[in-house]
Amino acid sequence: MKFAFTHISAILLLSLLLFSCRGQKTDQPPVRTHFNMNFQERFNSQQENRFFEDGMAMRAPVEGTVARGLLRHDTALFEGVDDAGDYISEIPFDLTRDFLYRGKERYDIFCQACHGATGDGQGIIMTGGYGYVPAPTFHRTESRDMPAGEFYSAIANGIRTMPSYATQIKVEDRWAIVAYIRALQRSQNVPESEMEIFDVDLAQLLDEHMVEMARLEALAEARAAGASDEVSVTRGEQLVVRNACQACHSLDGRDGVGPTFVGLYQSERNFTDGTSAIADEEYLIESIVEPGAKIVEGYQNVMVPYDFLSESEVQSLVEYIKSLSEE
Ligand code: HEC
Ligand code: HEC
């Protein structure tokens, strides 16, 4: 009996102790029997430390230190170039179906709006008349000959007026997009002899294509008929803005992706093939509708042909460029 009584009083005492732990707030620091790791012998970031000559507690990592997971010595994978610094032509991943689908998904999210669903450069941003630099088609010989590494670099670093997508697209996905662009290029460039293995009626496909082309041509004609045929410097100036010519050609004499328009008219132009010419009206027109015909020395053949502009639009551009050469 006595034994049970001591037990009960012990339990009562304990519960009393527990009750005393609850309820009241206090500003006093808690009573601790054990300090865990609340107080350590260490320095906080940015704290002073007289031990070192520069008085800073924070030390720079030893030169050549690489954070875990950030070792990027594989230049082919991370930069698209080999040891000599040349673009690699092979995609450094296995080209599985899943990889290509991943590439398609990423392409449709990040590239399609400008480069078009088939890579023809006719994305909604380009056809909407918003004044963007036109995105070139991927189905030109230059584009087909472009090494895989150069496509990768365009995504990782941007290219000329196109910005980099490095922050949005991770390394593996960039390569998946490159693989998908290769597939797009292939899809638009299959030799007739190879088409035989597919169960398609080539003659019918060609017919459908001709009908579509005729429809587009009629549409363009209708648009041209409704458009103004005014030729003026003012209209030329508006067209320069609307077609983003000034993204590559400066209007203040500075050099850019392309030569400046200032002082261009009637000046002597030297071309990459060693020939030269005076920049007269005829030359300016050709430079706009067929820029690949003569490549100005020191520049690359990267301007898309503006052959979709009407005659009066091209003439207005020429008048505007001429106006930049008058005192
Ligand atoms: C906002 C529009 C836009 C988006 C989105 C875009 N591009 Fe571009 N891209 C351009 C323009 C404009 C150019 C031409 C730039 C120039 O010549 O100054 C270009 C040029 C390129 C070129 C060089 C082509 C050549 O023949 O010289 C490559 C390659 C390219 N883009 C790939 C991509 C890929 C891959 C994506 C998606 C990750 C992408 N672009 C997204 C507008 C865009
Ligand atoms: C993506 C950049 C780019 C855009 C956009 C662009 N051009 Fe060009 N253009 C060039 C480059 C690069 C050259 C020089 C290489 C060559 O001759 O094709 C050039 C050459 C020219 C030339 C010949 C210049 C010379 O010094 O002899 C004319 C004229 C011209 N462009 C007009 C235009 C007009 C007009 C527009 C807008 C409707 C335009 N360009 C849009 C890049 C561009």
Instruction: Say which residue, 282 or 196, is predicted with more confidence.
Output: 282
- Answer with the residue of higher pLDDT: 84 or 242: 84
Q: Which residues are CB-neighbours of 221 under 8 A, at least 6 positions away?
A: none
- Has residue 64 been placed in a domain? no
Q: Which residue has tokens 């400008």?
A: 114
In angstroms, the CA 212 to CA 120 distance is 15
Which positions ≥6 away from 272 have C-beta within 8 Å? 295, 296, 297
Give the lowest-confidence range in 99-103, 222-226, 269-273.
222-226
Domain end point (choices 127, 160, 189): 189
**Residue 304, Cβ density class (10 Å: 0-12 exposed, 13-18 middle, ≥19 buried):** middle
Compute the average pLDDT of residues 267-286: 95
* Same-domain check for residues 102 and 176: yes
Q: Do residues 133 and 114 lie in contact, with contact meaning Cβ atoms separated by under 8 Å? A: no
pLDDT score, position 2: 61
Joined together, the tokens standing for residue 1 give 């009996």
Residue 3 is predicted with a pLDDT of: 62
Question: Rounded to the nearest whole angstrom, what is the distance from the C-alpha of residue 243 to the centroid of ligand 1?
Answer: 16
pLDDT at 11: 81
Q: Whose CA is nearest to atom 21 of ligand 2?
A: 287
**Residue 5 domain-assigned (yes or no):** no
Give domain status of residue 224, yes or no: no
In a domain, 296, yes or no: yes
The conformation of residue 276, written as its DSSP 8-state character, comes to E
Say yes or no: 182 and 240 in one domain. Answer: no
Q: Is the CB of 257 under 6 A from ligand 1?
A: yes
Residue 61 resides in a domain: no
What residue type is 222 in one-letter code? A
Segment 156-197, tens digit of pLDDT: 999 988 999 999 999 999 999 999 999 999 999 988 888 888
Task: List the one residue out of 247, 237, 95, 58 whose CA is nearest residue 172.
Answer: 95
Q: Is 87 in the pocket of ligand 1 (CB under 6 A)?
A: no
The last residue of a domain, from among 155, 172, 189: 189
* Tens-place pLDDT, residues 190-219: 888 888 888 888 889 889 989 988 988 888
- Nearest alpha carbon, ligand 1 atom 20: 135
CA-nearest residue, atom 1 of ligand 1: 114
pLDDT value at 27 more than 80: yes
Q: At what angle do helices 311-323 and 281-289 cross, to 10 degrees?
A: 120
Distance 159 CA to ligand 1 centre (A): 7
Q: What φ, ψ does residue 159 adopt, rounded to 5°?
A: -145, 125
Burial class (CB in 10 A: 0-12, 13-18, 19+), 163: exposed
Q: Are residues 158 and 241 in the same domain?
A: no
Domain assignment of residue 111, given as a range:
75-189
> What is the model's pLDDT at position 21?
61
* Mutate which of 110, 145, 151, 162 for ligand 1 pocket (most atoms within 8 A of beta carbon): 162
Is 80 exceeded by the pLDDT of residue 128? no
Length of the chain: 327
**Could you tell me if residue 51 is inside a domain?**
no
Region 70-89 average pLDDT: 93
- Same domain, yes or no, for 238 and 185? no
Beta strands, E only, 203-300: 268-270, 276-278
Ligand nearest to the CA of 174: 1
40 in a domain, yes or no?
no
CATH code, domain carrying 99: 1.10.760.10
**What's the domain count of the chain?**
2
**Which of residues 127, 155, 189 is at a domain's end?**
189
Structure tokens at 91: 């995609």
Q: Is 151 in the pocket of ligand 1 (CB under 6 A)?
A: yes
Q: Do 176 and 264 fall within a single domain? A: no
Q: What's residue 40's pLDDT? A: 83
Give the confidence band of 270 by pLDDT, cuts at 50, 70, 90: very high
Residue 131 pLDDT > 80, yes or no? no
Going from the Cα of 168 to the center of ligand 1, the distance in angstroms, rounded, reads 15
Are 181 and 252 in the same domain? no
Is the shortest distance between the CB of 248 and ligand 2 below 6 Å? yes
Residue 30 within any structural domain of the chain? no
Mean pLDDT of 34-59: 89
Of 248, 278, 280, 308, the residue with max ligand 2 atoms within 8 A of its CB, to mutate for a pocket test, comes to: 248
- pTM for the full predicted model: 0.71
